[in-house]
Amino acid sequence: MSDSCRSQSGAPHILPAEETAAACRQSESGLGRRVAAAGTTKMANQEAAEIQISELDLLSSMFPYEEEFAVTDQLALAELKHCVENESAEVPSSKVQFILNVKTEVPNASTVEFSMSCALPFKYPSVLPEITVRSSLLSRSQQILLNSDLKTYLMQNFNGEPCILSAREWVKDHAAAYIDKDLSSFSMTAADATKSEVTMFTRLWIYSHHIYNKQKRKNIIEWAKELSLSGFCMPGKPGVVCVEGLQSSCEEFWSRIRRLTWKRILIRHREDVSLEGGGHAEIQKQRKFSTLEEKCFDAHGARGNHMDLGQLYNFLEEKGCADIFQMYFGVVGHSRD
Confidence tier at 255 by pLDDT (50, 70, 90): confident
What is the pLDDT at residue 40?
54
* Per-residue 3-state assignment (H helix, E strand, C coil) for 17-73: HHHHHHHHHHHHHHHHHHHHHCCCHHHHHHHHHHHHHHHHHHHHHHCCCCCCEEECC
What is the pLDDT at residue 105?
79
Other residues' Cβ atoms within 10 Å of the Cβ of residue 327: 12
Which residues lie across from 254 on neighbouring strands? Answer: none
Other residues' Cβ atoms within 10 Å of the Cβ of residue 308: 14
More confident residue, 14 or 170: 170
Q: What is the chain's length?
A: 337
- Distance from C-alpha of 68 to C-alpha of 63, rounded to nearest angstrom: 6
Kindly report which listed range (134-138, 210-214, 278-282) carries the lowest average pLDDT score: 278-282
What is the pLDDT at residue 189?
46
% of the chain at pLDDT higher than 70? 75
Confidence tier at 9 by pLDDT (50, 70, 90): very low
Residue 200: pLDDT over 70: yes
List, for residues 274-307, the tens digit of each pLDDT value: 886 667 788 888 999 999 999 988 766 555 567 7
List, for residues 54-104, the tens digit of each pLDDT value: 999 999 999 999 889 988 877 788 888 888 888 766 667 678 889 999 998
pTM higher than the cut 0.75: no
- Distance from C-alpha of 230 to C-alpha of 228, rounded to nearest angstrom: 7
Residue 12: pLDDT over 80: no
What is the pLDDT at residue 193?
47
More confident residue, 69 or 337: 69
What is the pLDDT at residue 90?
67
- Distance from C-alpha of 45 to C-alpha of 315, rounded to nearest angstrom: 33
Residue 253 in 3-state DSSP?
helix
Tell me how far apart the 2 most distant CA atoms of the chain are, in Å: 76
What is the pLDDT at residue 292?
94
